[in-house]
Amino acid sequence: MASELRVNTLKDAAGNNSVGMEYVAEGTARHWVNFNQTGTQAIRESFNAASLTDNGTGLSTVNFTTSLSNADYAVQNTKGEEGYRGFHSVKSLTTGSYALDSRNDGGSEADATIQIGTVHGDLA
């Protein structure tokens, strides 16, 4: 039998530091991923990430396990690699995925060994 807990506010054990449920429900990331973009792209760890699509050097699509309700969500994506600053951008957003473009210091598309992304929005 399934249980349901209904509350308006959460507080710590001392009855302090309260937070309204709207902040818990609306402020929670709907997706996060840490993956290697080089060679055969591979997800290291994730939440709500079904798979990756390798679209060429520096180009990847991250596919969600559960779609979002619309394509107006916020994506924060960062990359890392020793001695590699470069830049990246989100190329497109759909309810089921987002695509990114990763570039090196010279502006050429380049894979990064560490790609990390987080999404905030509403699940479908």
Domain ranges, residue 52: 29-120
Answer whether residue 24 is part of any domain. Answer: no
Domain count across the chain: 1
Answer whether residue 54 is part of any domain. Answer: yes
Which residues lie below 8 Å from residue 53, measured CB to CB, with a gap of 6+? 60, 61, 63, 97
Answer whether residue 90 is part of any domain. Answer: yes
Write out the H or E segment, with its range, that includes residue 49. strand 49-54
Answer whether residue 17 is part of any domain. Answer: no
Strands 74-80 and 19-20: unpaired
Average pLDDT along the chain, 124 residues, taken 10 residues at a time: 84 88 81 94 96 96 97 91 73 96 88 92 89
pLDDT of residue 84: 62
Answer whether residue 23 is part of any domain. Answer: no
Which residues lie below 8 Å from residue 28, measured CB to CB, with a gap of 6+? none
Answer whether residue 101 is part of any domain. Answer: yes
Cβ distance 119 to 75 under 8 Å? yes
Answer whether residue 15 is part of any domain. Answer: no
Q: Whole-prediction pTM value?
A: 0.83
pLDDT of residue 85: 67
Answer whether residue 80 is part of any domain. Answer: yes
pLDDT of residue 25: 74
